[in-house]
């Protein structure tokens, strides 16, 4: 991830300048323990700054607003509302829209997506998407495993993220999702949900806000008491959405906006 490398370099330079300057300021004290030459002070400063830069970037990148600043035009994490469109002459892989959460994992693996979607019997199931690659021009490639209809099926998604006119950040995605064997595919557009929208929905509906937006009918109480449900392939703990009686909003999109 180019932005991450730039952030690491900038942090290392800052730390280098800081500790070198500090070394000269403390030269009288350091001189009692280290040979008093400027070379020794610079070498010691470089070693310390490298260690501190690595620690600083590891800790800072865990903070959401820091990632938002660092990744800027490639900042895509958060919740997205997916609209799926069937392609003429091909059977759709899915038959419903979805809510996707794009999560930042770590600098080496980048992003991971978990999508919540209705199955054919109107239950919510999850799709764990393992790899998201953001290249030049915000091109997106995503390898996916889905348990939508029986055994896991390998899927691939590809498309582009872009910012609508007037937006400072990416807020729209257009692409295609297909089975690896080409048996079926569909076109997909996703609109980004603002942090404010998600907070508002969570306050109003709690953990059921995804179910409300997708319009899933209730069938009783939560099946697992709200405990985490283990994804059968990845082994990661995914929060199970509770199943309670809720009235889905009519003819409205997310946060009361016009329907997408």
Q: What is the pLDDT of residues 74-86, one digit of tens each?
A: 788 889 988 766 5
pLDDT in tens, 153-174: 667 777 788 888 888 778 888 8
Distances (CA, A) of 125 to 7, 27, 56, 183: 37, 63, 38, 22
Instruction: Give the residue among 56, 63, 72, 60 at the shortest CA–CA distance from 12.
Output: 56
Q: Which candidate, 221, 260, 259, places its Cα nearest to that of 240?
A: 221
Dihedral over alpha carbons 40, 46, 48, 53 (to 10 degrees): 170
Phi, psi for 36 (deg, rounded to 5): -70, 5
- Are 78 and 201 a contacting pair, CB within 8 Å? no
pTM of the model: 0.62
pLDDT of residue 240: 30
Q: What is the pLDDT of residue 225?
A: 31
- Classify 184 in phi/psi space as left (phi over 0), alpha (psi -120 to 50) or beta: beta
- Please give the pLDDT value at position 187: 81
Residue 98 pLDDT: 81
Of 173, 149, 153, 151, the closest CA to residue 161 belongs to 173
- Asked if 158 contacts 151 with a C-beta cutoff of 8 angstroms, the reply is no
- CA angle (121, 200, 229) in 5-degree steps: 40
Tell me the C-alpha distance between 185 and 156, whole Å: 9
Q: Which residues of the chain have pLDDT under 50?
A: 145-150, 218-260
């Amino acid at each position: 991830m180019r932005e991450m490398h730039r952030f690491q370099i900038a942090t290392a330079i800052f730390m280098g300048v800081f500790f070198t300057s500090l070394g000269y300021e403390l030269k009288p004290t350091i001189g009692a323990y280290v040979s008093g030459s400027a070379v020794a002070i610079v070498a010691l400063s470089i070693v310390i700054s490298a260690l501190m830069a690595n620690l600083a970037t590891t800790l800072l990148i865990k903070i959401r607003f820091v990632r938002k600043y660092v990744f800027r035009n490639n900042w895509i994490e958060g919740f997205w509302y997916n609209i799926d469109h069937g392609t003429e002459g091909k059977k759709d892989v899915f038959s419903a829209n979805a809510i996707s959460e794009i999560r930042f994992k770590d600098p080496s693996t980048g992003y991971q997506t978990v999508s919540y979607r209705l199955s054919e019997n109107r239950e919510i199931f999850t799709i764990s998407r393992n790899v998201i690659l953001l290249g030049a021009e915000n091109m997106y490639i995503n390898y996916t495993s889905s348990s939508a209809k029986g055994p896991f099926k390998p899927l691939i998604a590809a498309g582009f993220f872009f910012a609508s006119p007037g937006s400072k950040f990416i807020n729209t995605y257009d692409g295609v999702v297909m089975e690896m064997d080409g048996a079926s595919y569909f076109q997909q557009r996703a609109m980004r949900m603002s942090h404010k929208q998600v907070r508002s929905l969570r306050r109003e509906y709690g953990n059921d806000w995804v179910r409300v937006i997708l319009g899933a009918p209730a069938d009783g109480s939560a099946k697992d008491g709200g405990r985490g449900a283990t994804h059968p392939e990845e082994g990661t703990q995914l929060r199970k959405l509770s199943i309670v009686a809720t009235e889905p909003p009519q003819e409205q999109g997310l946060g009361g906006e016009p329907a997408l």
